[in-house]
Structure 1
């Protein structure tokens, strides 16, 4: 049994993304509609996800494009306001992801009571956002300083829109990440949000670290969820839950319900 059962309530967990609209300081923030609009759109998506039956939710500033690797204070402040206003509506375990800043993700988790964070904690990358460096030792020390030691750390080891500077295979990365950093989970991604995770890569990672939770981090859809969940311990799902399966759209509760029905059927067969 993994920690997923204790924290989220089930194995083969589905963590649904609640993508926040652009926030103050973001290039595409709508000043006329303001933060009230951001909050209400987040509430709309949250309710559709929960009513559709997801196991957990992760709030992220997905529309803060183009992303920063050192996020500004106004972003995390705005995210804290959104989650604070939604607190009475949140009925499932939740996590947070401040793209792409590991320490601020932990700050937000500590402030809101989030159970987990997903981030790029390790590695050095050539990315669309420039040279992308990390400092996992300082990040984990920060986690303990702020009283967030019980927050689960989901390490994305295949960052979107980025590539390791060193020539290392994925099994080597998985093994050394686990040995050096004791992550709670490894997330395996496709190129961008909504892009399918390569099942062969997913299997290589799971085989390399069989005792660690491995999550399919992008691109799990109705037509591949059984294949992906037969390998991974769970999945992070965002785009597949949206109207017409398009990243920029809002959550479609009907799509969520259909997806989760298939997940529950898969789980029941897996148990047998």
Structure 2
């Protein structure tokens, strides 16, 4: 098993917390009156709540850029780089980026802000809420090398939310061929939408289908199911469960983060 997760995050079964950025310039629901100052203030508040709550890593994403593009506008990358650059001195844990839903843009952003990893839809073809969703993993990996991002880890989301693989292939086949052809640093397994619970059985199928790639539970973790999910997965990406009242649109609730991470830390003692 590739052990880079433990090396980078310093713990077994790391929890990567999402810092969701408010709508950005160019997004349909951008708050022009509040401007970038509001985006930065909200990101700073959530960042500190997550870190104070004890998460192992942060991933910045333009989560409220709905509806998403599969090729983002340059202004989105610039705005995200501005926010992360402003917060950089306040970040105390390893961090990554997710420029939805564009792996090339995510890599460009990662290089600009010294992020350690990206998460994206990097391979496959899907029918999605955002139209026909194609990828070009060969081009993406070549771009990664060309821009000096050799050390940026790539987390492949192989069950994207709001989309279905176009070919009639089961998840075990997808996991095996993705590992063999693309050498992902990790595979992310999701539920239907952000906040939807990932099926533990699906996690197990993926885990048993690959030989060397870590598996991350990508959506729907909460304090009631996290030990079950981590009994299979090598880590988790968490967001909605950390929000006030567990509602996607809300700000991060530091107390909810602490309660969740206390359960995770107790679970790690059994490993």
What is the distance in 1 between the residues matched to 2:105 and 2:203?
28
User: 5 Å matches for 1:94-109?
Assistant: 94-109=95-110
In the TM superposition, what is the alpha-carbon distance from 1:210 to its structure 2 partner?
4.0
SS of structure 1 residue aligned to 2:184: coil
Q: CA deviation at 1:8?
A: 1.2
Retained in 2: the 8 A contact 1:98–1:105?
yes
- The CA deviation string for residues 94-123 of structure 1, in whole angstroms up to 9 with x for no partner, is 000000000000000000000000000000
Structure 2 runs not aligned, ≥5 long? none
Provide the rounded CA distance (Å) in 1 between the counterparts of 2:65 and 2:106. 14
Please state how far the C-alpha of 1:211 moved relative to its aligned partner: 2.2
Query: Residue deviations 1:7-62, cap 9 Å, x none?
Result: 11111000000000000000000000000110010000000000000000000000
Mapped contact 1:154–1:186 kept (Cα < 8 A): yes
The answer for the alignment partner of 1:141 in structure 2 is 142
Structure 1 residue aligned with 2:193: 192
Q: Distance in 2 between matches of 1:149 and 1:247?
A: 33
Structure 2 equivalent of residue 32 of structure 1 = 33
Cα deviation, 1:232-257, whole Å, max 9, x if unaligned, reads: 00000000000000000000000000
In 2, the alpha carbon distance for the partners of 1:138 and 1:210 equals 25
Backbone CA RMSD of aligned residues: 0.6
CA contact (8 A) 1:43 1:86 kept: yes
Runs of 4+ off more than 6 Å: none
CA distance in 1, matches of 2:253, 2:187: 28
The corresponding residue for 2:47 is 46
State the distance in 2 between where 1:83 and 1:207 align: 37
Instruction: Give me the whole-angstrom Cα distance separating, in 1, the residues matched to 2:21 and 2:175.
Output: 30
Structure 2 distance, partners of 1:150, 1:103, is 15
The CA distance in 1 between the partners of 2:42 and 2:101, in whole Å, is 22
Aligned match of 1:76 = 77
Distance 1:26 1:152 in 2: 27
- Aligned residue pairs total 270
Q: Distance in 1 between matches of 2:65 and 2:74?
A: 13
Q: Residue in 1 aligned with 2:265?
A: 264
Corresponding position of 2:87: 86
TM-score for both structures, normalised by structure 1: 0.98
Q: Which residue of 1 aligns with 2:123?
A: 122
Gaps of 5+ in 1: none
Partner SS, residue 156 of structure 2: strand
Instruction: Give how far 1:6 is off.
Output: 1.1
Contact 1:2 1:11 (C-alpha < 8 Å) held by counterparts: no
Give the deviation of 1:181 after TM superposition.
0.4
